[in-house]
Structure 1
Amino acid sequence: MDKKQWLNNFIKENGRQPSPEEFIQAKNNGFESKKPQQNSADNQQLKEWVATFTKENGRQPSIDEVQGHKNGLDQPRAKAVAIPSTKPAQTVKKVARTQPKSKKQLVIWTSGIVLALALLGGIGFGYHYYSYDASYQRALKLLASHNPAEYQKMASWSDSNKKLTKDELKPLADYVADKQLNQSELKSLLKNDSAGVSFAQDGSNWLLFPRYVIKLQPVNLRVTTNQSNLKVTVNGQTLTSDTDSSYEKLIRHQAPGLYSFTAQGSLNGRTVKTSVNNYFGGRNTESVDLDIETLSFTVRSNLNDAKVYVGDTAVGTIVDGKANLTDIPVSSGAEVYVKKTSNGNKVESSHKKLTSISNGDEITLNAKGMLTNDDAQKTLATMADVLTYYAHKEKNSSDVSSAFLDGTSNHAYRDFCEMIDHNLHSAKRNADDIDFGDVKVKNVDSTGKNKADVTFEIQEDFNYSSKTDSDKQSSGRLRQRYLLIAHMAYDSDSKKWLVESIDSNQKKLSESDDVR
């Protein structure tokens, strides 16, 4: 068979032009047809199949695809195994379908960046918020609130790291409130391990930031008394209603703070009450001695009209600088002190343990930062001297600043100088000179920290010579004695108590006139 015959037969049998590969293969075979003759029905079916294949796939089938169809007409058509199209138009469609994915990726990237920035900001804030300095300031603020519920936010036991209850924290809050601790004193409390309170790191927050807490060292309180039939209480709670003569009770695991113990009952037919009102903390175990004793002693103090306390029981009042206490039932473990409230300010003296006091003793319990009678006497005596100097020299003494606050600018000093000038130069009869002296302090009343009112007597002598009385040529001395009140203040620069002002309420006590 020649080439032309082969080509006609191929088209007739396959319904299409041969591919270059099919043509070369036939040429190599001498254009001989090895395929069996098909009947007209098969040829018609083949033509229909080729037409359907071309329509569905956009191309004519290969010779292998045709041969496969001939070998099994009942098999699925070539559409099921068609090679995916690689036309440019279809590629463009695929690119177009990927556009929404790019926008989604952009949203994801943007969200990731925002989250990363927020995370970094949160970490930065966390390191500041949980830093030592910031935590320390929060601890000071919590302590100053006097509120056990606030204390719970940062307080924990030093031995177990567990949180404390509000009831457990109340003694510490009571102590801070009772002592009216200022910012500086609160800082000292947090740094004073001997008080059982400290500020330290304890683990971390969120696994990243340090956690600082107020650590409280637990203390055991051993309560004892030597008397029977006493009711013993602590902070208002009853420990026992009936003691024996060797009563002992150990109260375990208490927080540092202010504890008020009382033992009350009958002793030798007389109702007695003793108490201990102290800060306990900083040791594993502390003793609370409620033994009953009686003492008679005298207390002197610079807090006039203040109450004398043994524990939390008032046992006397300071009058004219002292209080005589007789047969006072007290606890040998308690302390005696003087306390008063003036103008809303609580003022308290130093404390003295009763174990150091014997019957008939006289003790002095002055308040720090309070004016003593001796200091008031010295300042007012200096005041009299500088006034006398001005009356004799008519110029300011170099010691004015040792008596008057703000020196020669002090209003009280200037008022005295005006009075002196008037009596020397413009009075009905002018004095030759004036003497001030014989100062006697009658009372010192503390009105607050570094403030006091001093009631005192002062003598003023107006000396007259005959030259000021041309008619009668009389001479002599007019002596007047006044009761004055000096408002005094402590000057931290000079470290002295000075006269701030003189009260306008003055009283003339006496007058003697020997001018003849």
Structure 2
Amino acid sequence: MASEMFCPECGSKIKAGLSFCPNCGHKLSQINASTKKDDSTITESSLQRSGNATAVQQPKKPLDKRLIGAFFVIIVIIVGGYFGLKDYYQPQKQFNRIITAMGNPDKSLAKYIKTNDPTLQNKISDKNLKPIQKYFEKNKQALAELKTTLQQGSTYNNTYSIEQSGKAWLFFPRYKVNVAAAYVTLSTNHSGVTFYQDGKKLTTTTNANYSKKVGPVFPGLYTFKSGGTISGKKLVNTSNSTLVSGSQNLSLNLRIATFTISGSKGSTVYLNNKKVGVLNNSGKLKFKDYPISNNLSAYLTLQVSGKTVKSKTVNVSNKLAYGYQTISPSFEGVVSKSDAEELLGNAFSGTEYGTEDSATAELFVGQESNSSYNDLLKFFDSFKTNDNIETYNSEISKINSVTPSGKNKAIVSYSVKYTFTTSGDSGDSTKVQQFTYPNAEIVKQNGEYKIQTIGVTQSADWEKDYSD
């Protein structure tokens, strides 16, 4: 609102905007101009103060909540990551991962291995370490022994030791297995023979005394092979060899041999897992001039009660090296011919003397309650009551066959020779008879072979009389 004005001359109250005082006529234009200037000054000053007041009272902006949230997320990740890595790199957990990888070819092993051999150090890779993994995968007991030895801080087979090797993420000790290098020298007995390592050609011999040193390589399971044409015949010698640290020699001579596989008639014969024939009625199959490799192995299979029974695997090469020309793979828990002969021989000779030899009953399943045991006692007792028989004895003359009949059971065919000395009016005489028992049953109980039944015989195979 405009301020009240008074005439400077007469003091009368006047209205703003008048040029002259209505009371005395005094000129008022100078007063109006001064008033307008003061009003303007007041207005501008007021506006300036108002503006300054507004600037001073303006509030500060708050911090962005997203920045605060991101900061806390980063802190959580860092702390969680540290404790997660600390747990992952615990020595025992690292050790467990190492042992698992060493026994599993499907796992990566290179990151856990080191070696002091500078040449071998450059060969560290998952591919080159497969022989270690194949060996321990096949030999679980050896893997268990490795684990125990390394946990004790010792060296296994002078080959494997565990050591700290740097740090992971700058904070956590990292552990690796230090592996010693292996070397092998291959040799053969002919020139023109090619050596192979796991299918890869190494070299070809130029003379019969040629040898090839392979290494350094990592220890483990390797397949070495030699192959060549000798006297027009292609020969191959394959050896699945386990290399250990240090140096070793491996002979891959090319040779042939003649041998016979024997067992139950009708059994199927396998050489190096390949079916090669069937045993004849005599339970035999002969091989002539057969190529012999270091790992030539044989086993039999037989159908028993609708099921296929497999024998133990025999190393033919080793048997031939010890002079055996006839090789007889045995079945698990099935009595051998020699053991059957001894067992039956003791049973017959023991029961000849009746119950005086109580240990004989222990050869039978059920001991004194076994029907075959009691039948033998009665059989020999009948000779004692025969006044014409002066002496008698029995002898197991032959084990004809041993046929698996199930787990820990076998049917045994055997022959017994009986000799009797008789007296009469015409003088003394000796009679010899042989009987065959085709169906005796021998079982394995608690690690020992026992007679279930002695079998039944019908008539003598032959008999002979000798008179004085």
| Aligned-partner residue type, residue 223 of structure 2 | Y
Structure 1 runs not aligned, ≥5 long: 1-37, 57-78, 143-147, 464-477
Correspondence list, 1:2-401, <5 A: 43-53=38-48, 56=50, 79-80=51-52, 84-85=56-57, 111=73, 115=77, 118-119=80-81, 122-123=84-85, 125-127=87-89, 131=93, 134-135=96-97, 138-139=100-101, 141-142=103-104, 148-150=105-107, 152=109, 156=113, 158=115, 159=117, 160=121, 163-166=124-127, 168-169=128-129, 171=131, 180-181=138-139, 183-188=140-145, 193-194=156-157, 196=159, 202-203=165-166, 205-207=168-170, 216-240=179-203, 243-256=206-219, 257-266=221-230, 269=231, 271=233, 273=235, 275=237, 277-291=239-253, 339-340=298-299, 343=309, 347-348=313-314, 352=318, 373-384=337-348, 392=355, 397=358
- 1:261 is displaced (CA, Å) by 1.8
1:211-269 alpha-carbon deviations (Å, 9 max, x no partner): 55566544343333342344444444444567434434333343432323223222xx4
- 1:482 is displaced (CA, Å) by 0.9
Q: Structure 1 length as normaliser, TM-score?
A: 0.51
| Distance change in 2, residues 1:315/1:187 (3 Å) | farther
| Distance change in 2, residues 1:372/1:424 (3 Å) | closer
- 1:120 is displaced (CA, Å) by 6.5
| Aligned-partner residue type, residue 47 of structure 2 | T
8 Å CA contact 2:349–2:394 kept in 1: the answer is: yes
- 1:279 is displaced (CA, Å) by 1.6
**Are 2:441 and 1:482 equivalent residues in the alignment?**
no
**Are 2:457 and 1:508 equivalent residues in the alignment?**
yes
Distance 2:370 2:445 in 1: 23
Partner of 2:241, secondary structure, is strand
- 1:80 is displaced (CA, Å) by 4.3
| Distance change in 2, residues 1:351/1:169 (3 Å) | farther
What's the Cα RMSD here?
6.3
Structure 2 runs not aligned, ≥5 long: 1-32, 150-154, 302-308, 386-391, 421-432, 464-468
8 Å CA contact 2:331–2:404 kept in 1: the answer is: no
| Distance change in 2, residues 1:323/1:117 (3 Å) | same
| Distance change in 2, residues 1:240/1:421 (3 Å) | closer
8 Å CA contact 1:350–1:365 kept in 2: the answer is: no
8 Å CA contact 1:458–1:482 kept in 2: the answer is: yes
Distance 2:452 2:171 in 1: 60
Distance 1:208 1:329 in 2: 60
8 Å CA contact 2:98–2:112 kept in 1: the answer is: no
Q: What fraction of aligned residue pairs are identical, expressed as a percent?
A: 16
1:50-77 alpha-carbon deviations (Å, 9 max, x no partner): 44356x2xxxxxxxxxxxxxxxxxxxxx
8 Å CA contact 1:441–1:454 kept in 2: the answer is: no
Correspondence list, 1:490-501, <5 A: 491=446, 496-499=447-450
| Distance change in 2, residues 1:188/1:286 (3 Å) | same
| Distance change in 2, residues 1:498/1:197 (3 Å) | farther
Distance 1:340 1:225 in 2: 27
8 Å CA contact 1:303–1:366 kept in 2: the answer is: no
Q: Which structure is higher in helix share?
A: 1
**Are 2:397 and 1:417 equivalent residues in the alignment?**
no
